């Protein structure tokens, strides 16, 4: 049976995709759960509109991500923190600290999941942190930590 997906379903497809599934799966699960509708002429037209909107939205996100990647890659974020003997910080620089600094200095809003750090920064000096902006678009920002 051909159905139009109403939401993204792992291993089946994205919202608006027209797929073939077993009749029982469609009738007993997908349609009653509100995850799909039977592929009528009207539903197929609506699916094509959804796909066109999704493609346009993805292109816009990619365009903005490239612009932000250039801005982020050329920036250096500086922090002043208290240190113990040597160069160890009291506390650490976390994703939240980096997000707040980028928003304040560069006027770019990010989410915590976009910051790719193996661990929080706990020493002074220069560190590079990778930021995932969009599919296949990443940027590295330089974080410089000085003793207070």
- For the chain, the domains span 2-61, 66-147
Q: How far apart are CA 27 and CA 3, in angstroms?
A: 10
Q: Is the pLDDT of residue 115 over 90?
A: yes
> What are the structure tokens assigned to 10, written together?
């792992």
pLDDT of res. 54: 86
pLDDT of res. 148: 84
Q: Is the pLDDT of residue 51 over 90?
A: no
Q: Is the pLDDT of residue 98 over 90?
A: yes
Average pLDDT over residues 36-60: 91
pLDDT of res. 84: 87
Q: Which CATH superfamily is domain 66-147 in?
A: Ribosomal protein L9, C-terminal domain (3.10.430.100)
pLDDT of res. 15: 87
Contact in structure between 2 and 31 (CB atoms under 8 Å) = no
Q: How far apart are CA 88 and CA 66, in angstroms?
A: 35
CATH fold group of domain 2-61: Ribosomal Protein L9; domain 1 (3.40.5)
Which residue, chain included where needed, has tokens 């910080």? Answer: 89
pLDDT of res. 119: 92
pTM: 0.69
Neighbouring C-beta atoms of residue 143, cutoff 10 Å: 21
Collapsing DSSP to helix, strand or coil, 2 comes out as strand
Average pLDDT over residues 91-98: 93
Annotate 39-86 with DSSP letters as a single string: --HHHHHHHHHHHHHHHHHHHHHHHHHHHHHHHHHT-EEEEEE-B-ST
128-148 pLDDT per residue, tens: 999 999 988 999 999 999 988
Q: Pick from 127, 120, 126: which is nearest to 94 by CA?
A: 120
pLDDT of res. 35: 95
Q: Is the pLDDT of residue 27 over 90?
A: yes
Q: Is the pLDDT of residue 50 over 90?
A: no
**How buried is 26 (Cβ within 10 angstroms: 0-12 exposed, 13-18 middle, 19+ buried)?**
buried
Q: How far apart are CA 18 and CA 36, in angstroms?
A: 9
Q: What percent of the chain has pLDDT over 70?
A: 100
């Amino acid at each position: 049976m051909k159905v139009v997906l109403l939401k993204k379903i792992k291993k089946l497809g994205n919202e608006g995709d027209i797929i073939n599934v077993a009749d029982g799966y469609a009738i007993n699960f997908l349609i009653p759960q509100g995850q799909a509708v039977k592929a009528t002429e009207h539903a197929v037209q609506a699916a094509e509109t959804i796909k066109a909107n999704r493609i346009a939205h993805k292109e816009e996100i990619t365009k903005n991500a490239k612009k932000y990647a250039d801005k982020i890659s050329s920036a250096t974020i500086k922090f002043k923190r208290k240190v113990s003997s040597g160069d160890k910080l009291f506390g650490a620089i976390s994703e939240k600290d980096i997000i707040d600094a980028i928003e304040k200095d560069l006027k770019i809003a990010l989410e915590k999941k976009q910051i790719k750090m193996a661990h929080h920064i706990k020493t002074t000096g220069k560190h590079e942190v990778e930021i995932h902006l969009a599919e296949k678009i990443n940027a590295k920002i330089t974080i410089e930590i000085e003793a207070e």
